Structure 1
């Protein structure tokens, strides 16, 4: 009989930057890869368009996190703003249902922040203030 497993819960994850758990993130989205397609027709067979793999593009990853006094992510962003991009390896770790054991990992190699959005400030809200940081990276690995 096949071993049936429940899918992992999307709320059990953590972000590790250069080997250090950095803050508490409420959401990580956008993780993806796309292989472009180059279409061409061969001589003598004008009815069929063939396809070759083209350029690989990795989707930007957006992190949402609670606003705190920590300056680590802000300082990393400001280095890029000043033209001194600091590339870091970032890992997204999926955890088990108890939130204690790593079950899957995606590594963003040579990542750096390309965009930041501040928290929405609303006097009528009771929600946590969340900032958004967008990361770009060279390659993606699944470990």
Structure 2
């Protein structure tokens, strides 16, 4: 809880790293999106005479939770490690990896937030759009995963 009168600024979206267990070469991702989950809403009957003297009607209950795919973008280099991980999936060799998305404050030394994902595998790879404009070649990797295990923040 913030102290009264203390300004609390939101974290900056540009100062982050993504780590993936088992990758030998670091990748400087330029974009990361898709951190999310959704829980299905189930409608069911409310029992008569329940807590608070229920009168019937319906109640809403949580059902199955699913997690949004994580989308990563990066400038293409001569590293083929992410491409090979995707090719392993295409070839039927499912290699699952866990990792973290970490947000730092402006000094780039203090971790401010962390989300850990588990058992991810690349479900899609998309190569860069190529043109004569001189832009950086950006590739995209989409990770299916089995959940976000934690969200933590630290105080500045």
Question: Is 2:141 the counterpart of 1:137?
Answer: no
Partners of 1:75 and 1:19 lie apart in 2 by 13
Match of 1:12 among 15, 33, 36: 15
Partners of 1:22 and 1:61 lie apart in 2 by 18
Computed over aligned residues only, the root mean square deviation of the Cα atoms, in angstroms, reads 1.8
Runs of 4+ in 1 over 4 A off after TM superposition: 43-46
Question: Is 2:94 the counterpart of 1:85?
Answer: yes
8 A contact 2:22–2:97 mirrored in 1: no
- Per the TM alignment, residue 83 of structure 1 is displaced from its structure 2 partner at its CA by 1.0
Change (3 A) 1:86 1:25: same
8 A contact 1:15–1:22 mirrored in 2: no
Partners of 2:135 and 2:141 lie apart in 1 by 19
Partner of residue 40, structure 2:
36
Partner of residue 27, structure 1:
31
- Of Structure 1 and Structure 2, the greater strand share is in 1
- Per the TM alignment, residue 100 of structure 1 is displaced from its structure 2 partner at its CA by 2.2
Size of the aligned set, in residue pairs, is 141
Partner of residue 128, structure 1:
136
- Per the TM alignment, residue 72 of structure 1 is displaced from its structure 2 partner at its CA by 1.1
The structure with the larger Rg is 2
Unaligned runs of 5+ in 2: 49-54
The TM-score with structure 1 as length reference comes to 0.90
Secondary structure at the aligned position of 2:93 is classed as coil
Partners of 1:34 and 1:121 lie apart in 2 by 35
Partners of 1:11 and 1:19 lie apart in 2 by 24
Question: Is 2:64 the counterpart of 1:55?
Answer: yes
- Per the TM alignment, residue 43 of structure 1 is displaced from its structure 2 partner at its CA by 6.3
Unaligned runs of 5+ in 1: none
Partners of 2:17 and 2:45 lie apart in 1 by 47
